[in-house]
């Protein structure tokens, strides 16, 4: 039975919308701690390009799963689900409320709903897919996923080769769409969840993204990417903000072109985040400029706190 006194406040929304700031305010308002569900911020070597919270923000509230692993570590969403649930249980021993924040929908869902179960397929399929990427590039796999599973194609980051390979190995191995194995029923959790979503007009979100990218470059993103360039094949580094600069270092793009690509791909990423979260009818959406007290009062009324 779910304890009515144990609540997870989950702050979601697109990148650059202000989730970190809201999460800190909520953690302080409820004397609690924050679990980060941003899969890009797990890595110690990637701080500027993933918009890791500042030292001041990290000191303002206790954070978990921020720069806790290395890009060289093998870390899955299943690992995160297991560790986050343990962390959440520890927080809820002393607090009636915990806060989780992040734009990685899969990782949020893993904690709240549990993971999906997929059929076992031959590892040869993954090897073949990786070989195809090396030989022909990522475009052929993008086209294949769109044909075999248009539903998942609309949700996934199609520029992330790891996600493409994972989906297509299931499609090829089972003969069924990857999305057909996605969970229909949620796992039973010993807490209830209140979803708070932040949103804004598209032009505002895009402007905030563009300004954030400019700030990252001022803060030293180019140098951070240079330090990681020799390891560019790692899955953790197949992410927006790094792969475009790697292409610049390879001579495929000028610096100016790489910056424009980062902004464009981040905007695409934000669109896919919206697509993922919009399917969750339990999210209560607020404009990003909503008065904080209004959100707190909503949570208290919803949770009878």
Q: What is the pLDDT of residues 158-174, one digit of tens each?
A: 888 888 999 999 999 99
Give 72 or 137, the one with higher predicted confidence: 72
Q: What is the pLDDT of residue 19?
A: 98
Q: The domain spanning residue 22 has which CATH number?
A: 3.40.50.300
- Whether 132 is in a domain gets the answer yes
- CA 82-88-89 angle, to 5 degrees, is 95
Residue 111 and residue 133 in one domain? no
Give 115 or 292, the one with higher predicted confidence: 292
- Residues 116/183, Cβ–Cβ less than 8 Å: yes
Residue 176 and residue 244 in one domain? no
The domain of 129 spans 123-181
Residue 52 and residue 146 in one domain? no
Residue ending a domain, among 154, 181, 208, is 181
Residue ending a domain, among 181, 204, 230, is 181
Q: Is the pLDDT of residue 184 over 70?
A: no
Q: In what order do the strands lie in the sheet with 97-101?
A: 63-64, 34-36, 97-101, 7-12, 192-199, 283-287
The whole-number average pLDDT for the span 26-53 is 96
Residue 53 and residue 131 in one domain? no
Residue 192 and residue 291 in one domain? yes
Residue 76 and residue 87 in one domain? yes
Residue 157 and residue 218 in one domain? no
Number of domains in the chain: 2
Q: What is the pLDDT of residue 1?
A: 31
pLDDT band at 233 (very low <50, low <70, confident <90, very high): confident
Of 145, 180, 139, 150, whose CA–CA distance to 166 is shortest?
Answer: 145
Residue 43 is given by DSSP the state: B
User: CA 37, CA 89: separation in Å to the nearest integer?
Assistant: 16
3 state SS of 170:
helix
Residue ending a domain, among 162, 181, 200, is 181
- Whether 2 is in a domain gets the answer no
Q: Strand 34-36 vs strand 97-101: parallel, antiparallel, or unpaired?
A: parallel
- Whether 292 is in a domain gets the answer yes
Residue 210 and residue 292 in one domain? yes
Q: What is the pLDDT of residue 2?
A: 39
- How remote is the C-alpha of 64 from its chain's centroid? 15
Q: What is the pLDDT of residue 235?
A: 84
Residue 47 and residue 162 in one domain? no
Q: Is the pLDDT of residue 303 over 60?
A: yes
User: CA 267, CA 286: separation in Å to the nearest integer?
Assistant: 20
Q: Is the pLDDT of residue 3 over 90?
A: no
Q: Is the pLDDT of residue 40 over 60?
A: yes
- Confidence (pTM): 0.84
- Whether 31 is in a domain gets the answer yes
Give 137 or 288, the one with higher predicted confidence: 288
Residue 193 and residue 299 in one domain? yes
Residue 109 and residue 193 in one domain? yes
- Whether 103 is in a domain gets the answer yes
Q: What is the pLDDT of residue 4?
A: 53
Task: Supply the DSSP string of 68-114, one letter for each residue.
Answer: -B-TTS---HHHHHHHHHHHHHHHHHH-SEEEEE-S-HHHHHHHHT-
Q: What is the pLDDT of residue 70?
A: 97
- Whether 213 is in a domain gets the answer yes
């Amino acid at each position: 039975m779910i304890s009515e006194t144990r609540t997870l406040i989950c702050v979601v929304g697109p990148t650059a919308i202000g989730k970190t700031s809201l999460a800190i305010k909520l953690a302080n308002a409820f004397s609690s701690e924050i679990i980060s569900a941003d899969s890009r911020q797990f890595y110690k070597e990637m701080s500027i390009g993933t918009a890791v919270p500042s030292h001041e923000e990290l000191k303002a509230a206790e954070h978990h799963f921020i720069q806790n692993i290395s890009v060289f570590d093998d870390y899955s969403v299943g690992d995160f689900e297991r560790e986050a649930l343990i962390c959440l249980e520890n927080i809820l021993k002393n607090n009636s409320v915990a806060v989780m924040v992040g734009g990685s929908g899969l990782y949020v869902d893993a904690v709240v709903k549990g993971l999906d179960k997929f059929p076992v397929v031959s590892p040869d399929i993954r090897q073949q897919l990786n070989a195809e990427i090396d030989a022909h590039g990522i475009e052929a796999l993008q086209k294949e996923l769109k044909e075999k599973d248009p539903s998942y194609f609309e949700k996934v980051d199609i520029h992330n080769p790891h996600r493409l390979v994972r989906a297509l190995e299931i499609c090829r191995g089972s003969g069924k769409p990857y999305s057909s194995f996605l969970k229909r029923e949620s796992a039973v959790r010993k807490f209830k969840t209140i979803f708070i979503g932040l949103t804004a007009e598209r032009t505002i979100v895009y402007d905030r993204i563009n300004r954030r990218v400019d700030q990252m470059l001022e803060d030293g993103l180019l140098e951070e990417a240079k330090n990681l360039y020799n390891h560019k094949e790692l899955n953790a580094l197949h992410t927006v903000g790094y792969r475009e600069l790697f292409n610049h270092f390879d001579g495929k793009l000028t610096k100016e072109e790489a910056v424009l690509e980062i902004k464009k791909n981040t905007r695409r990423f934000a669109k896919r985040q919206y697509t993922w979260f919009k399917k969750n009818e339990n999210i209560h959406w607020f404009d990003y400029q909503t008065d904080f007290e209004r959100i707190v009062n909503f949570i208290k009324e919803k949770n009878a706190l």
